Each structure stands twice: as structure tokens, then as C-alpha cells.
Amino acid sequence: MAHVFVTGAAGFIGSHTVDRLLAAGHAVIGLDNFRTGRRANLAAALASPHFSFHEGDVSAPGTLAEVVSATKPDAIIHLAALVSVQESMTNPDLNYALNIHATHLVAEAARLHAVHRIVFASSAAIYGDASDFPIRESTDKKPISPYGSAKLASEALLLGHGAAFGLTVRCQRYFNVFGPRQDPASPYSGVISIFDRRYRDGKGVTIYGDGQQTRDFISVHDVARANVLAATAPTVSSGVANICTGRATSLLEVIGVFARHYPQAPAFLHGAPRTGDILHSLGAPEHAAAALGFRAEVSVEEGLSELIRSG
């Protein structure tokens, strides 16, 4: 049984990661300030005797260090972040505090309290608007948002700390994650969460553009499993890996699954393409398989059906 500290524990990816760690028999310490995370996401975890929760802000002086020194985890999974690309553009200072400074605090807390492993929530946003597919870990990194640059900077901070002080660091470059508990509140929320909410409410959805755009949509269950593997596998070495499926799915295919589940729903509308949208995104999954033994298992069809049936 490992002791794993999860920052951003009440978030979309965080809460699924916590649940999976507990199911695998590990002891979990969670931290969240409920800025974007929700207490309801932790309903199951809070009932477990193997879960302890701390409410607090990762970027606040002393918070991380206090929890880490009191709990002495074997690994930290650092998922707390400013999660909206859009918000990183309207508030670059907050992006810096939450997505860069907090990473440094995690690295220092690990160094000072002998935590040997850090798993970090990186993003395909570090690649920017790539044109060669599939995107490999060696593909040029050209972030086009403060969010993407902060994720790239954080990878460098952690890997440098790891090399200097003997910590194992795994940077997980998530592609388009979807599944239960993803917040559909903003127009810039993940498209699947928006569609799910609107179909549930009996409303029609709008496709920006012709719907032929594709993404590498990966289920949050696969992402949580990749996090657990990276944090608890006995032998992993430091490095970066795409966390993706290697399969491209178009928005029209996504709509097709919803339409089968909601035969009475209004027909979808087409809107103008969204400014700054990329047409395609597709990751190469082979490196994660070699480095972590991770392969995505949930198909988009299965993942969407599960999301649609979930409460």
C-alpha cells in the first residue's frame, strides 16, 4: 500500500484518480480549495477510512509544505491547476501563480520531505497548433496560450528538480479528456461535457464549423488509471508521455452517439467555426505504453455511453 498525496483532489481528473487509488488499496491524502473542484466529487472517497482531506490552496504559502511534512507521502500527483485555457488568457497572473509557482512549491515540498515521486498533469496544449500527426513527445513545443506555456515550464521545473535531487518525475500530457464530473459551465468547457448537459436538458447543440474536426478524446477512467500507474508502478523512470488513445474522433461521430441515445432531441445546428480553433489533434500513444505500460482501453463510444447513463 502506497501513501499518495493528490493535489486538486476534488476536481474532474483528481476525484477519479482518488477513487481509483482507493480502489487499488492505497492510502490517499487529498488537497483542494474548491475553486473549480467540487466536494460532491469526493462523496465516495470521503466515506473511506483510507482517505484524508485537507481544504486549502496549493499556491498559498506553507499549505503544501505543511500537508507533505505531516503526511510523508510516497508520491505526489499534482493535478491542482487553473484548468481553463480561456481563463489563462484573461488572467495570466493567476495562471502564473497556480500553474507555475505552485509547481515549484510541489517540487520543493518533495525535495525537503523526501517524497521520491511526482506525477504532473501536463497537457497537449504544450504542442500548440501542431500540423504533423500523430503528435509525438518529440514534436515541437509551441504553446499558444499562457496555459500551454505554464504546463511546459512546469515540466521543465519538475524534471530539473528531479535530475538534481534524485526524484522520479512523470509528466502526463493529457489530450482531450472527457467523462462524468467534467464541468460544462463555460462555453469553453470540453465539448463533450457541453453536449452531455444540453442533451440531458432536452436542448439542441451547436457544432462550430462542419463537424469534421477531430480530437483524440480519452476517457477520464483511462486517465485516472495512467495516473495511478505513474504514481505506484514499482519501476518507472523520469520522463514525459502523451496520455491519449491514438484514435481520432470527429464531432459528427460524437453527435452520432448522443443522437442514438436521445432519438427525440432537436437536430443539431451549425455555427461559425470558433476563432483560434484547431482542426485536428491526435496523439501517439506508444511512448506511454513503453514507459508506463499504459494503453487506453475505453473507446469513445463506450465512454460516451457511460457518461450519458451516469447520474
User: How far is the C-alpha of 107 from the C-alpha of 113, rounded, in Å?
Assistant: 10
**Closer CB to ligand UD2, residue 47 or residue 269?**
269
Minimum distance from CB of 193 to ligand UD2 (Å)?
A: 8
For the CB of residue 213, give the shortest distance to ligand UD2 in the complex, in Å. 4
Does the footprint of ligand UD2 cover residue 99 (CB under 6 A)? no
**Chain centre to alpha carbon of residue 63:** 22
Q: Is the preceding omega at residue 263 within 30 degrees of 0, hence cis?
A: no
Minimum distance from CB of 171 to ligand UD2 (Å)? 17
Query: Which residue in the list 147, 174, 208, 262 is annotated as catalytic?
Result: 147
Least CB distance from residue 281 to ligand UD2, whole Å? 6
Q: Which of 9, 13, 194, 292 binds ligand UD2 (CB under 6 A)?
A: 194
Answer yes or no whether residue 188 interacts with ligand UD2 by CB under 6 A.
Answer: yes
Q: Cell numbers at residue 56, please?
A: 486549502
By CB under 6 A, the residues from 111 to 140 that bind ligand UD2 are 125
Residues in binding contact with ligand UD2, number by CB under 6 A: 20
Instruction: Let me know: does 281 contact 213? Beta carbons within 8 Å.
Output: no
* Contacting residue, 207, 231, 291, 304, with ligand UD2 by CB under 6 A: 207
Dihedral pair phi/psi, residue 175, rounded to 5°: -90, -145
Secondary structure tally for the chain: helices H, strands E: 12, 13
Contact 148, 85 (CB under 8 A): yes
53 binds ligand UD2, rule: CB under 6 A: no
Q: How far is the CB of 1 from ligand UD2 (least distance, A)?
A: 34
CA distance 178 to 238: 26
> What radius of gyration do the chain's Cα atoms show?
19
CA distance 6 to 224: 12
Is there a catalytic annotation at residue 174?
Answer: no
Site for ligand UD2 contains 274 (CB under 6 A) = yes
The residue of the chain with the least Cβ separation from ligand UD2 equals 85
The answer to whether 85 contacts ligand UD2 (rule: CB under 6 A) is yes
| Closer to ligand UD2 by Cβ: residue 14 or 239 | 14
Q: Cα-flanking dihedrals φ and ψ of residue 32, to 5°?
A: -160, 150
Sort strands 239-243 and 27-32 into parallel, antiparallel or unpaired. Answer: unpaired
Integer Cα distance of 116 and 109 in angstroms? 11
Active-site residue list: 147
List contacts with ligand UD2 (CB under 6 A): 85-86, 125, 145, 176, 188-191, 194, 206-208, 213, 215, 251, 274, 277-278, 281
